[in-house]
Structure 1
Amino acid sequence: MNQVPNIVKGGSFVLEDVTPQQVFTPEDMTEEQRMIATMTAEFIEKEVSPQDEQIEGQNFAMLVHYLKQAGELGLLGAEVPEEYGGADLDQISAMLITENMTRGSSFALSHGAHVGIGSLPIVLFGTEAQKQKYLPDLATGKKIAAYCLTEPSSGSDALGAKTTAVLSADGKSYTLNGTKQYITNAGFADVFIVYAKVDGEKFTAFIVDKETLGVSTGPEERKMGIKGSSTRSLILEEAEVSIENTLGEIGKGHLIAFNILNVGRYKLAAGCVGTSKWVIELSVKYAKERKQFNRPLTQFPLIQKKLAEMAIRAYAMESMVFRTGGLLEQARQSIDPSDSDVTEQIVQTLEEYALECSINKVYASEALDFIADEGVQIHGGYGYTEDYLVERIYRDARINRIFEGTNEINRLLIPATLLRKAMKGEVPLFAAVKQLQEELIAYLPPTLNGDPLQIAQAMIYSAKKMFLLAGGVAVEVYQQRLEDEQEILESLADMMIEIFAMESAYLRACKATEVDGANKASQKIKMTTVCVYESFAKVEQKIKGVLAAVSEGDSLRMQLSIVNKLVRFPLVNLISLKREIAQRIIEAERYIT
């Protein structure tokens, strides 16, 4: 695979220092990228939002109508190559479309399912004939796509699928039998990406057309949220699919399924960023208008605290998403489309940052849940009624922790992926653990000058050491059995998630300070400081939990003494910082950095 010089390896952030110049931030957006974001937001505001009630009432004809309008604007073909009618935009531009679609609620979900997990399998893994046949219609909205992986008996265990594909006697087609469950867009999709086992064993992807004999859908699911979207079962009964519609290689469907899910996880996080900004805007405007005890809610410190904490989480996830988008785009640029092994290059590119995609998904979905919950709380009793959008957002947000692999599964994948990369020699994890043992014997807390970014940098460095200490001890004790210790793996994943969050926030603040000066970057510096201190406390809690689970006696006491040196940092008045952060949000009446 061709490599871009100095490309950052996936998962290496826990082992190595990262410079501000190595990350992409929202402030790095080009004018063209900003225009794409604005165009998307205006399309939702002017076209989709006025029809909100009908779309939420499952008027699928109207939903499809606006999907086609989005196609006319180029908002369905962002990642489709130009030769097939798409715009072939960069990863940041495609992500910005996803982020700015979110105020369309269920429409945004239908859009995301179509352009992401629905169309991308053909974009990335389709044959030339398949691309020519399907992509032009998918890019314009003439045809709508759906992704069919989950089954009644297999969710997270995707390879446990029961759907079968049997080759016909003449070798010209496969007969598919089985049921796929919880399929977004199923009620109006024209093209289904379906996974089935050839001869009951070889997990394989197929492109299935709606009009194929033996293809039908079940009734609409009655859901907690995302009510305007279509969610049905796809039923395959002796459905005959041409061998020309086999997607990728026989028995290699897992490469498509799991790598498309990596992209889906990243885009889900981008959607969470957009929704979080929406909730903050709704909440601060309501809090300024609503009075209690003859004062606007925004004058009460506990409301200010909520707004600040909502904004800080949004800032962290936004920083993470843009950073990951930059990594994905850099890797995409390294692919040579003229090479004969282009499919292998695509797989390697998507696998490279699978760990980061899972981190984005877990952090963003849980941060949005927190933000939506606080948004309801700020609205009080009104937030519990359907008259206020925050009620719907609260319900809609809950699915994100289940979509694209549950957060539990993603938490297991994060450390497992890092260990697998280490075993392959792709990241120097074991060398870093060995070096750490020598470092910690003579470790002394750093001398700090009081600069908040310097302190943040030292705390991130220390957090990485704590992760390596916890991970090293866990591997030493459990070795191959570590995969069965899910609570330990969860803690290691949580440490990595918090490290990526605090470092992304820190690097963004550093970059902004270098460009604009500390005064203009003050809001970012304050949000970074709070983010780092609160994430650091979680890392400290997790390492103590891991050590208590894997060590005892003198060994545990020695390890805890090392931890006590690693967590020795000055206290900061987080209450004051949150009040200052909130004031900026209140003045702007929206999320602002």
Structure 2
Amino acid sequence: MGETVSGKVLGGSFIIEDIGADRIVTPEDFTEEHRMIAQTTEDFVAAEIAPHDEAIEKLNYELTVAKLRQAGETGLLGADVPEAFGGLGLDKVSTTLIGERFAKAGSFALSAGAHVGIGTLPIVYFGTEEQKRKYLPQLASGEKLAAYCLTEPSSGSDAQGAKTTATPTEAGQFYVLNGTKQFITNAGFADIFIVYAKVNGTDFSTFIVERTMPGVSIGPEEKKMGIKGSSTCPLILEDVKVPAENLLWEAGKGHLIAFNILNIGRFKLAAGALGTVKEAIGLSAKYANERVQFGRPISSFPLIGKKLAEMNIRAFALESMVYRTAGLFDEGLAEVDHGADNVGLQAAKAIAEYQLECSINKVFGSEALDFVADEGVQIHGGYGYIQEYRIERIYRDSRINRIFEGTNEINRLLIPGALIKRALKGELPLMQKAMALQAELMEPMPSREFAGVLEQETHLLAMAKKVFLMVGAQAVQKYQTKLDREQEVLSHLADMLISIFAMESALLRTRKLLDRSGDAKAGTAVDMTSVFVHEEFGKIEERARETLAAMESGDMLRTQLSILKKLGRRTAVDTIGLKRRIAGKVIEAEKYVV
């Protein structure tokens, strides 16, 4: 039923199995400790970062480093580091809350995020006991700062195309590293670099490189479109002698470290995007209430309200996805024994389990932020284009997220690819489900009446899964081993999976809210879920139609389109009215609302 014997939810199982609302983590489940951690982060940003925002944005290294150390003293850099190595060892829900609340710190959030995430986690999950004892306490306290060095001038998303080399010395005591890494966040002031290089030009491996090692140098700062307050420089390695004990895990295992740390990085990016989405909604609603045109605030105009409602709905879906995924990680990583000899293998397996969900969060989160930032600028009108207004910076800063941590195009290829690989390995009965569905689809489907709250939306989610299985199975059968060449088809399949995970996350969260609070308190969530499910289902139908038309023609295509039409049979809802109601709540609160 999509679960292991231990009851852990399997990655990707959402497409073939339904789970109960009680199995997912939602913001309504936060404990007092979670809320305290979130408040501590908010207070730190408000008191220590916001007053210095302008100076940080001008790339003041000294100030950024001082503030990072201060964040370390507050405990905000050690949340992911086990207590045994000087950290707090918090759960993933807590660290996600920190990432989300840090988002208001702008460029500083990126500096902190790169340090605690992709900079420190390789040592947390893949370091030896000695490496952890040597580096983690200083990284957790902010005494030392980290950077992650994967991208090269000639290789970005194609990580294994890296040209940086690591040549072992004759005695085997050192590796000599040569190469250049590009676009390295924190490079201007980092002390520790996680560097990927090929041992003997073939075995992709990972090394802990210290800034003070002879041969390490930093290139000039890049002049960027946004995130101007973060440091982005090349790292140049010229005959750098790195002690053999600074090899992370084993030679040739670098791809496992890189890909799994990128998985976590993608998830953390979505959490940061969520924080900025909420901020943009607050700024836009407040401005819309204050800006008077034609004798009344622009928030009273339905088209402005529609924008605010759509921004809020996307935020609700994203928030539901992010904390659901944090809960999955807490389940999976809880089983990792940090004292075991094979801790690296355990960690890699636990993180890789939710590779698909991480990519889904990354794509949906980065695109939701771009949508919200763009609409935020539009609501601000001409003032949205002026640097004095925060929304202008949010707009510029948001654009990098669709490129960071693997472009959204690469992630769209990874999402169905990961699902199919799991099926081929026998980890998910995907094709069995698809084959069983074939006979069912040929049967007549009686029309249904929907009366209960979210009853039709629950039905549409089930139909969406069937649409995906139908189209996905057709693609696998038609293209077989050449499916990876059909990038447009894979992208459409990815978009369908993203919509389904988002729909289900919002739906399960709202059901949970209804069970706890009843119709009165869950009204806005019900409205948002209804709009979201109906609109996403329409997108799924469109993607399915296009994909089927690319694969078939004539009678076969007509048959498949008639099945699609049958699966999509539904009663229209008044999305205009629902959005007006949602907008009213956002305008009244002047912030993101549930």
Whether TM exceeds 0.5 here: the answer is yes
Runs of 4+ residues deviating >3 angstroms: 336-340
Aligned to 1:518, what secondary structure does the other structure show?
A: helix
1:165 corresponds to:
166
Q: How much has 1:4 moved relative to structure 2?
A: 7.2
Contact kept in structure 2, 1:3 and 1:334, CA below 8 Å: no
**More displaced 10-residue stretch of structure 1: 444-453 or 458-467:** 444-453
Aligned to 2:184, what secondary structure does the other structure show?
A: strand
Is 1:565 equivalent to 2:566 in the alignment? yes
1:182 corresponds to:
183
Aligned to 1:370, what secondary structure does the other structure show?
A: helix
2:141 corresponds to:
140
Q: How much has 1:8 moved relative to structure 2?
A: 0.8
Is 1:432 equivalent to 2:427 in the alignment? no
What is the CA deviation profile of residues 340-383 of structure 1, one whole-angstrom value per residue up to 9, with x for unaligned ones?
43221111101100000000000010010000000000000000
2:62 corresponds to:
61
Aligned to 1:228, what secondary structure does the other structure show?
A: coil
1:389 corresponds to:
390
Question: For the residues of structure 1 that align with 2:16 and 2:142, how far apart are their CA atoms?
Answer: 44
2:297 corresponds to:
296
Q: How much has 1:449 moved relative to structure 2?
A: 2.7
Aligned to 1:98, what secondary structure does the other structure show?
A: helix
Question: For the residues of structure 1 that align with 2:317 and 2:97, how far apart are their CA atoms?
Answer: 16
Contact kept in structure 1, 2:125 and 2:343, CA below 8 Å: no
Amino acid at match of 2:96: M
Contact kept in structure 2, 1:106 and 1:226, CA below 8 Å: yes
Question: For the residues of structure 1 that align with 2:220 and 2:248, how far apart are their CA atoms?
Answer: 28
Aligned to 2:10, what secondary structure does the other structure show?
A: coil
Q: How does 1:338-377 map to 2 (within 5 A)?
A: 338-377=339-378
1:97 corresponds to:
98
Contact kept in structure 2, 1:448 and 1:454, CA below 8 Å: no
Contact kept in structure 2, 1:4 and 1:330, CA below 8 Å: no
Contact kept in structure 2, 1:122 and 1:131, CA below 8 Å: yes
**More displaced 10-residue stretch of structure 1: 330-339 or 405-414:** 330-339
Contact kept in structure 2, 1:165 and 1:175, CA below 8 Å: yes
Contact kept in structure 2, 1:505 and 1:528, CA below 8 Å: yes
- Percent identity, please: 58
Contact kept in structure 1, 2:288 and 2:379, CA below 8 Å: yes
Contact kept in structure 2, 1:445 and 1:566, CA below 8 Å: no
Question: For the residues of structure 1 that align with 2:198 and 2:323, how far apart are their CA atoms?
Answer: 37
**More displaced 10-residue stretch of structure 1: 260-269 or 583-592:** 583-592
What is the CA deviation profile of residues 111-164 of structure 1, one whole-angstrom value per residue up to 9, with x for unaligned ones?
000000000000000001100110010000000000000000000100000000
| 1:445–1:315 distance in 2 versus 1, CA, 3 Å | farther
Aligned to 2:388, what secondary structure does the other structure show?
A: coil
Question: For the residues of structure 1 that align with 2:341 and 2:170, how far apart are their CA atoms?
Answer: 32
Amino acid at match of 2:235: L
| 1:341–1:445 distance in 2 versus 1, CA, 3 Å | farther
Contact kept in structure 1, 2:127 and 2:344, CA below 8 Å: no
Q: How does 1:306-321 map to 2 (within 5 A)?
A: 306-321=307-322
Is 1:51 equivalent to 2:47 in the alignment? no
Aligned to 2:182, what secondary structure does the other structure show?
A: strand
Aligned to 1:216, what secondary structure does the other structure show?
A: strand
Question: For the residues of structure 2 that align with 1:381 and 1:366, how far apart are their CA atoms?
Answer: 23
Question: For the residues of structure 2 that align with 1:121 and 1:341, how far apart are their CA atoms?
Answer: 15
Aligned to 1:179, what secondary structure does the other structure show?
A: strand
Contact kept in structure 2, 1:4 and 1:333, CA below 8 Å: no
2:592 corresponds to:
591
What are the ranges of 5 or more consecutive residues in structure 2 without an aligned counterpart? none
Question: For the residues of structure 2 that align with 1:372 and 1:443, how far apart are their CA atoms?
Answer: 45
Question: For the residues of structure 2 that align with 1:135 and 1:237, how far apart are their CA atoms?
Answer: 26
Question: For the residues of structure 1 that align with 2:83 and 2:546, how far apart are their CA atoms?
Answer: 52
Aligned to 1:203, what secondary structure does the other structure show?
A: strand
**More displaced 10-residue stretch of structure 1: 507-516 or 339-348:** 339-348
What is the CA deviation profile of residues 156-204 of structure 1, one whole-angstrom value per residue up to 9, with x for unaligned ones?
1000000000011221101100000000000000000000000000000
2:234 corresponds to:
233
2:459 corresponds to:
458
Contact kept in structure 2, 1:470 and 1:546, CA below 8 Å: yes
Question: For the residues of structure 1 that align with 2:442 and 2:189, how far apart are their CA atoms?
Answer: 63
Aligned to 1:387, what secondary structure does the other structure show?
A: coil
Amino acid at match of 1:430: M
Contact kept in structure 2, 1:4 and 1:334, CA below 8 Å: no
1:155 corresponds to:
156
What is the CA deviation profile of residues 24-47 of structure 1, one whole-angstrom value per residue up to 9, with x for unaligned ones?
111011110011001101100111
Contact kept in structure 2, 1:287 and 1:379, CA below 8 Å: yes
Q: How does 1:510-549 map to 2 (within 5 A)?
A: 510-549=511-550
Q: How much has 1:447 moved relative to structure 2?
A: 2.2
Amino acid at match of 2:278: K
Amino acid at match of 1:499: I
Q: What is the RMSD of the two structures over their aligned residues, measured on CA atoms?
A: 1.0
Question: For the residues of structure 1 that align with 2:224 and 2:104, how far apart are their CA atoms?
Answer: 19
The count of corresponding residues between Structure 1 and Structure 2 is 592
Aligned to 2:521, what secondary structure does the other structure show?
A: coil
Q: How much has 1:498 moved relative to structure 2?
A: 0.4
What is the CA deviation profile of residues 82-127 of structure 1, one whole-angstrom value per residue up to 9, with x for unaligned ones?
1111000000000000000011100000000000000000000000
Question: For the residues of structure 2 that align with 1:256 and 1:567, how far apart are their CA atoms?
Answer: 42
Q: How much has 1:445 moved relative to structure 2?
A: 4.7
Question: For the residues of structure 2 that align with 1:215 and 1:260, how far apart are their CA atoms?
Answer: 24
Amino acid at match of 1:176: L
Q: How much has 1:17 moved relative to structure 2?
A: 1.1
2:503 corresponds to:
502
Aligned to 2:454, what secondary structure does the other structure show?
A: helix
Question: For the residues of structure 2 that align with 1:445 and 1:194, how far apart are their CA atoms?
Answer: 59
| 1:87–1:445 distance in 2 versus 1, CA, 3 Å | farther
Contact kept in structure 1, 2:190 and 2:211, CA below 8 Å: yes
**More displaced 10-residue stretch of structure 1: 341-350 or 286-295:** 341-350
| 1:445–1:14 distance in 2 versus 1, CA, 3 Å | farther
1:30 corresponds to:
31
**More displaced 10-residue stretch of structure 1: 277-286 or 15-24:** 15-24
Amino acid at match of 1:569: R
Q: How much has 1:384 moved relative to structure 2?
A: 0.1
Aligned to 1:88, what secondary structure does the other structure show?
A: coil
Aligned to 2:519, what secondary structure does the other structure show?
A: coil
Question: For the residues of structure 2 that align with 1:232 and 1:11, how far apart are their CA atoms?
Answer: 37
Aligned to 1:344, what secondary structure does the other structure show?
A: helix
Amino acid at match of 2:404: F
**More displaced 10-residue stretch of structure 1: 134-143 or 5-14:** 5-14
What is the CA deviation profile of residues 41-61 of structure 1, one whole-angstrom value per residue up to 9, with x for unaligned ones?
110011100000000001110
Question: For the residues of structure 2 that align with 1:39 and 1:507, how far apart are their CA atoms?
Answer: 29
**More displaced 10-residue stretch of structure 1: 437-446 or 317-326:** 437-446
1:419 corresponds to:
420
**More displaced 10-residue stretch of structure 1: 5-14 or 102-111:** 5-14
Q: How much has 1:229 moved relative to structure 2?
A: 0.3
Aligned to 1:517, what secondary structure does the other structure show?
A: helix
Q: How much has 1:487 moved relative to structure 2?
A: 0.4
Question: For the residues of structure 2 that align with 1:135 and 1:333, how far apart are their CA atoms?
Answer: 20
Q: How much has 1:443 moved relative to structure 2?
A: 4.4
Aligned to 1:321, what secondary structure does the other structure show?
A: helix
Contact kept in structure 2, 1:358 and 1:413, CA below 8 Å: yes
Question: For the residues of structure 1 that align with 2:200 and 2:86, how far apart are their CA atoms?
Answer: 36
What is the CA deviation profile of residues 53-85 of structure 1, one whole-angstrom value per residue up to 9, with x for unaligned ones?
000001110011110110011000001011111
Contact kept in structure 1, 2:318 and 2:361, CA below 8 Å: yes
Question: For the residues of structure 1 that align with 2:5 and 2:592, how far apart are their CA atoms?
Answer: 35
